[in-house]
Homo-oligomer: A and B are copies of this chain.
Amino acid sequence: MSRLAHGRARGIMADSKLEAAGNPFLRKLEGFVPLPEADRAALLKISENPQVVSAGTDLIREGEPPDGMFLILDGFACRYKLRGNGTRQIVAYLIPGDAGDVDGALLRAMDHSICTLSACRVARIAPDTIWDLLQRPAVAAALRKSKLVDEATLREWLSNVGRRTTVEQLAHLFCEVHLRLRAIGRADGNRFELPLTQQDLADTTGQTSVHVNRSLRELRSEGLIELQQRHLTILDLPRLKLLAEFKSEYLHLGDQAAA
């Protein structure tokens, strides 16, 4: 990132401020809990040596013992489960700022896999470093809260797959991703990068890519969205939310601001 090189000339404070604005992990945690400067610096530090991973790479596989954690800095990844017959269910998206398995070390084996959906910048955090981070009360609180939000999102997804039509599910998904990306400054108004194939969307909603294709067409013909070149534009957010019956509360994004 060229921004890092430039930052150096501006002194440490400016560097931290500048980089912080672009660091999705920091931005996400600060959305939950205000962080002291020392914590912010520590969080920036762990993002320093990211690794570029191409799309479709498993970061960790079901059955393997968790080893440290991943931090997504750029791109989309997902948690997924595979069935014996080859079908895949995506159970969560990991977007920039999301971390895989902060306290996974408590369990002996992964019950699911994590895979990149697009090219990603990924930082790997060693167990010791995680432990150090967890000694910082503000960081620990933010991570705990983040975990609660992950769980709430999982419940929302379950209720999506179980009780929404495909069109509604997609609408809901787009509303969610939109908000999550906005929270970390990665959405340009109502437009953002969505590097998912229709098969990925199908594995998320529990349906077929053919059916997803037809449902997307419906959303397009209703004038709700535009989706091309891996970019999604929400043309009519209020109507999309209405259709999806989207309530953003489960993401608990405004909690700190409202408190």
On A, residues with C-beta under 8 Å from B are 63, 79, 81, 83-84, 87-89, 91-92, 103-104, 106-109, 111-112, 141, 144-145, 147-148, 150-152, 154-159, 161-164, 205-206, 245, 249-250, 252, 255, 258-259
Contacts and interface: CB of A to CB of B under 8 A. Distances in A.
B162 A89 contact: yes
Contacts of A163: 81, 83, 87-89, 206
Given A87-B163, A108-B252, 7 more contacts: A81-B156, A81-B159, A89-B158, A92-B155, A111-B156, A112-B155, A162-B205
A259 B81 CA distance: 25
Contacts of A159: 81, 83, 89, 91
A158 B161 contact: yes
Chain multiplicity (copies): 2
B111 A249 contact: yes
Nearest to A154: B154
Contacts of A245: 83-84
A104 B145 CA distance: 9
Contacts of A84: 245
B106 A145 contact: yes
Contact of A79 (B63, B145, B148, B155): B155
A144 to B, nearest CB: 6
Given A87-B163, A163-B83, A148 B107 contact: yes
Contacts of A148: 103-104, 106-107
B81 A155 contact: yes
Contacts of A158: 89, 91, 154, 157-158, 161
Contacts of A157: 158
Given A144-B103, A163-B87, A206-B161, A108 B258 contact: yes
A24 to B, nearest CB: 22
Given A89-B163, A206-B162, A206-B163, A249 B81 contact: no
A158 B151 CA distance: 12
A151 to B, nearest CB: 6
B109 A249 contact: yes
B89 A252 contact: no
A96 B259 CA distance: 35
Contacts of A206: 161-163
Nearest to A112: B155
Contacts of A88: 163
A83 B172 CA distance: 13
